[in-house]
Chains A and B, each alone.
Chain A
Amino acid sequence: MTKLRMFLAILAGRAVRLLSRLLHRGGTDMPGRVALKLCPELLRLLAADVKSLAITGTNGKTTSARMIEEAFREAGLRYFANRSGANLISGVTTEFIMNADWRGRPKKDYAIIECDEAAAKKVFGQLRPRVVIVTNLFRDQLDRYGEVTHTLANIREAMRGAPDAVLCLNADCSLTASLAGDLPNKVLWYGVDGGAAPSRPKPAISDATHCIRCKTEYEYDYITYGHLGGYRCPACGYARPKADVAVTAVTEQRADGSTVVVNLQGESCVVKINLPAMYNVYNADGALAAATAMGVPADTAIAALGRFSCGFGRMETFKLGKKGARMMLVKNPAGCNQVLEFLETISDPFELVVCLNDRHADGTDVSWIWDADFEALGRLGSRLKRVTVSGDRALDMRVRVKYAGVPDGIITVERDYEALVKTLEQAEDTVFLMPTYTAMLELRQTVIRHVGGADFWE
């Protein structure tokens, strides 16, 4: 009976996929949704013989997944991944349907699955992953996810469905690290050690000021960004655990990448990361921990980090304008601050485009733009040649950059992406594009229509 239901569900899922592709829709979500209606345990059945790695957390899921993919490819593993960002149970199930035969037998050995924090509860128990990475926890789309402690509780509950998984946790995030104490899982810690990079000042807004266990204010030995760093509670002793896969030095930070030294379970390795900014140091370190936990040799995983490119709006480069463009998806204050910090390190003049949407996938509440340190733009002075605001909430963004101290004369509103891209094609300076999620999808399409999707950076 189960076999018949599974067969029918796979059939229905594939039919829906075919139909949506004929209609030029992505068909990443609907096939799984329909199939799960017919056979609610479909994902569990399809995932049973696949070695899965799951990635969840607020920021860095997609980039980490791409890094791990590159490592798997390099290692010659047969894998699939939910690349299109369809990270709810329906999207994950679609991916398993498309990578199974008619009888539900897997076509590949491994799966790399990024999973929405709220959806993890439904997914992990069925997926039964071998390795789970939790990248970090920051306030994010509060209208959708609620408070950050709520997201933490969701992930904790999700992990009950995966008691055998090795749990790769960001040791530097006091919220994420608190998962370890309550769960039976073997934990592999990753993080950035004190002294690896200059400590940042305490941010004006932190998502974790007080001990998650006893509510006493944390003390910090160092801060890498946001609330991440060497925290410790003076009252109950809860503190950053020692990292097993530790970045011990950030030796170089460039506009197109970083070089770091990683202590990988006792061995010091130089790691080149083909993406800039501190948050990608974390993504790379977590990817390294997880890939090796899945059995990829360390040197293979390290080589992959120096070679991979992420695409899909995550530090993606385009041949747009005379000096090229880079697209940097922003979704929440923590991620946005990292992008703004990165912009502060750019020494040549540049143009900036910020596209703010407030659709469901972006979060309908745009107040977070006031939590992000756009004042960084005001500090750039003459390096910032122009700020163009766009998207459904362009006018809110214009007010934000005005109050951030950007001179009125260099702020432009342009809501038509076609016209925007045409103007940018003439840009003399490097262009940085900061869209929210749904704005990224539209803007990226328009950019690719004009200049193609090839990577390019000067």
Chain B
Amino acid sequence: MELNICHLYPDVLNLYGDGGNIITLTRRLRWRGIEAKVTRAPIGSPLSLSGADLVFIGGGQDFEQEVLLEDLHRGRDREIRAAIEDGLTFLTICGGYQMLGGYYETWDGVRCDFIGALDLYTVGSKTRMIGNYKFRCEPEAGGSLIVGFENHSGKTRLGSGVRPLGKVLAGFGNNGEDGTEGAHYKNVFGSYSHGPMLPKNPAFADLLLRTALERKYGRAELAPLDDAAELAAHDEMAGKI
């Protein structure tokens, strides 16, 4: 078995250790004897998503985020929308998560059109939502308890076309107001959880792998791994937050 992981815009969306998600996905595949191939798709690369089984998009700095909008609107947005409707597995974090929504509006009213693949939008605020936080995934998103670190000033609002990824137990989540965190639509999982998200949340990492493998091979059984170190780190933070 083999999984092709596409890291979209690693050249500009690589803040807060999000590359650790790629490291985690590949390690957890290889420990199980499954091939993992990572393709980096920087700005301007002609790569199409048709060969990919799992796409990761991270968060970035505002400065660089502006650079990629142009690239996005040269047709990649259409391609991403089609791939999502087709059931491709995505993990998107912070800026990458916001990007899948309809638009981002800065706190002083400047609107910037995004991909429009997910029924959500984000409005900037003057205060940043920063800190360790935890949330419980909805049952259809695996139901696991996630610990992470959030750092965003955008407040994301979900429309009726998507489900929240989970319920905030401590921290801000999507907007600090409605108790939702992230979004889940088909096989797309979006979250504010930097940290990175996957190393300390192995159950969620395996959910992504299983989702991608099932789509590719029809069924997927993941051999259990010794997650003692991961779970110890997870449990300690879950207790502290």
Interface residues, chain A, with chain B CB atoms under 8 Å away: 139, 142-143, 147-149, 204-206, 209-210, 215, 217, 364-371, 375, 395-396, 398-400, 402-403, 408
Contact = CB atoms under 8 A, between A and B. Distances in A.
Contact of A367 (B20, B23, B61, B131): B20
A209 B64 contact: yes
Given A215-B67, A364-B131, A365-B194, A395 B233 contact: yes
A439 to B, nearest CB: 17
The bracket for how many chain B residues form the interface is 35 or more
A116 to B, nearest CB: 19
Interface in B109-161: 130-132, 149, 151
Contacts of B233: 395-396, 398-399
B20 A403 contact: yes
A217 B199 CA distance: 31
Given A395-B236, A403-B23, A371 B200 contact: no
Contacts of A206: 11
Given A147-B63, A209-B11, A364-B131, A399 B200 contact: yes
A396 B200 contact: yes
Interface string B163-197: 00000000000000000000000000000001110
A143 B130 CA distance: 7
B15 A395 contact: no
A292 B195 CA distance: 44
B24 interface: yes
B200 A142 contact: no
A402 B16 contact: no
B14 interface: yes
A205 B14 contact: yes
A375 B27 CA distance: 12
A45 to B, nearest CB: 36
Interface in B183-241: 194-196, 199-200, 229-230, 232-233, 236-237
A215 B43 CA distance: 12
Interface of B: 10-12, 14-20, 23-24, 27, 43-44, 61-64, 66-67, 130-132, 149, 151, 194-196, 199-200, 229-230, 232-233, 236-237
A215 B11 CA distance: 13
Given A139-B15, A369-B17, A400 B10 contact: no
Q: Taking chain A's interface residues, is the majority helix, strand, or loop, or is none over half, making it mixed?
A: helix
Given A215-B67, A396-B200, A370 B12 contact: no
Contacts of B12: 209-210
B21 to A, nearest CB: 8
B23 A147 contact: no
Contacts of A205: 10, 14, 19
Contact of B196 (A142, A147, A149, A370): A370
Which 10 pairs across A and B sit closest by C-beta, in order of nearness? A370-B20, A370-B17, A367-B17, A395-B233, A147-B61, A367-B16, A149-B63, A205-B14, A215-B67, A367-B195
A210 B200 contact: no
25 contacts: A147-B61, A147-B62, A147-B63, A148-B61, A149-B61, A149-B62, A149-B63, A204-B19, A205-B19, A209-B64, A365-B194, A367-B195, A369-B17, A370-B17, A370-B18, A370-B19, A370-B196, A371-B19, A375-B23, A396-B233, A396-B237, A399-B233, A400-B199, A402-B229, A403-B20
B43 A217 contact: yes
A413 to B, nearest CB: 9
A205 to B, nearest CB: 5
Contacts of A403: 20, 23-24, 27, 199
B149 A367 contact: yes
Contacts of B151: 142-143, 365
Contacts of A408: 229
Given A399-B229, A403-B199, A215 B23 contact: no
Which residue, of B10, B61, B131, has the highest number of chain A Cβ atoms within 10 A? B61
Contact of A398 (B18, B64, B229, B237): B229
Given A209-B12, A369-B17, 9 more contacts: A209-B64, A364-B130, A366-B149, A367-B149, A370-B17, A370-B199, A395-B232, A395-B236, A402-B229
B60 to A, nearest CB: 9
